[in-house]
Amino acid sequence: MKNNFEGGRNLENYAATIRQRIGNLIRGKRRKIQLSQAQLAQDICSQALISSLEKGEYLPNTAVLIQLCQRLQVSLDQNFLNTKLPFQEAALASKVFTLCKERRYREMLQFLDRPATMISLTAASDFQIYYYYYACATYQAIHNLATSQRYLKMALSYTKLTSQAIPQTEIEILIVNALATIKAQLEESKRSQVLFKKSQTGLEKLADPAENLNVINYYYGIFLMNLGDFLAAQRTLITGFDQVVRGESYFMLADYALSLVDCYQHLGRLDQAAQYQQRYEVFHNL
């Protein structure tokens, strides 16, 4: 196991990249709501600190950063995911994406149930995405595995996938992976593993995977950990962690790091566990 990130990135380089991205986010939000640096800083910190933050030179302590984010109505957790699933209608894609990213799942179900939403669906891919989102919102808001599974199967019915086929598109891979996750919770381990392997194979075939697919290796890694196969879980989670770093999206990165801490601890490899604990804390401290 290497002691640094793929491509020679060490922890400091990684933290610097995080600072730059957060700085860009703060500057963009501040300008969007037409606040000056002085107005943003008022009663929180100095204007000089805001300037350094926006340049990616400095990251303030957690209390200051939280206050700045609250003033800007920014959630760092939400803003690390930026890629929408592509409905044909851009406004629909933006609305559903926002509700999902902000975890407003009951409101999301209400929106998806509106007749106007259903009427706006035109292509088969629209129905795939619609029922995928509906299944996810149902799972999160109602925690009904059987109902979530039914909507995922409806999403799958709008694809051309046969029972043996490998998913090829972003949404197909997400649907199959979500089904695998549901099957695992329904204690259908053999079927779950088959589906996880299919979604993994589909991911491997993509030249430039979208950041939504950062979840694929994570959920398979968690599945393997729950089976007690920590060595296979470690390999899967590292593959996913490296994919996220390579794509510079950071979505799911903290989840991967924390799961790798747990995995390495079970394997008795405490040095590696400590390394990933540090990487997790880069996010946790925010």
The per-residue pLDDT for range 113-124, each reduced to its tens digit, is 999 999 999 999
Name, in order, each residue with C-beta under 8 angstroms of 122's C-beta and a sequence gap of 6 or more: 88, 89
d(CA 196, CA 177): 6
pLDDT of residue 5: 39
∠ CA 25-28-32, nearest 5°, is 135
Q: Which CATH class is domain 164-286?
A: mainly alpha
d(CA 177, CA 168): 12
Average pLDDT along the chain:
85
Q: What is the distance between the terminal CA atoms of the chain, rounded to a whole angstrom?
A: 27
Domain spans of the chain?
6-74, 80-158, 164-286
At 48, the amino acid letter reads A
Angle of helix 253-266 relative to helix 270-284, nearest 10 degrees?
160
Burial of 85 (0-12, 13-18, 19+ CB in 10 A): buried
pLDDT of residue 254: 77
At 261, the amino acid letter reads V
Q: Say yes or no: domain 6-74 is CATH 1.10.260.40.
A: yes
Closest by Cα among 243, 281, 275, 247 to 260 = 275
d(CA 72, CA 232): 42
Q: Which residues are paired to 5 by β-bridges? A: 9
d(CA 226, CA 150): 24
d(CA 196, CA 39): 49
Which residue is it, tokens 């606040």? Answer: 35
pLDDT of residue 222: 95
Is 0.85 topped by the overall pTM? no
pLDDT by 10-residue block (mean), the chain, 286 residues: 40 61 82 92 92 83 76 67 86 93 92 96 96 96 94 94 86 96 95 95 92 94 95 92 76 82 86 73 60
pLDDT of residue 150: 97
pLDDT of residue 213: 94
Q: How far, CA to CA in Å, does 110 sit from each of 115, 116, 139, 207, 214?
A: 10, 12, 14, 36, 27
d(CA 213, CA 64): 32
pLDDT of residue 11: 47
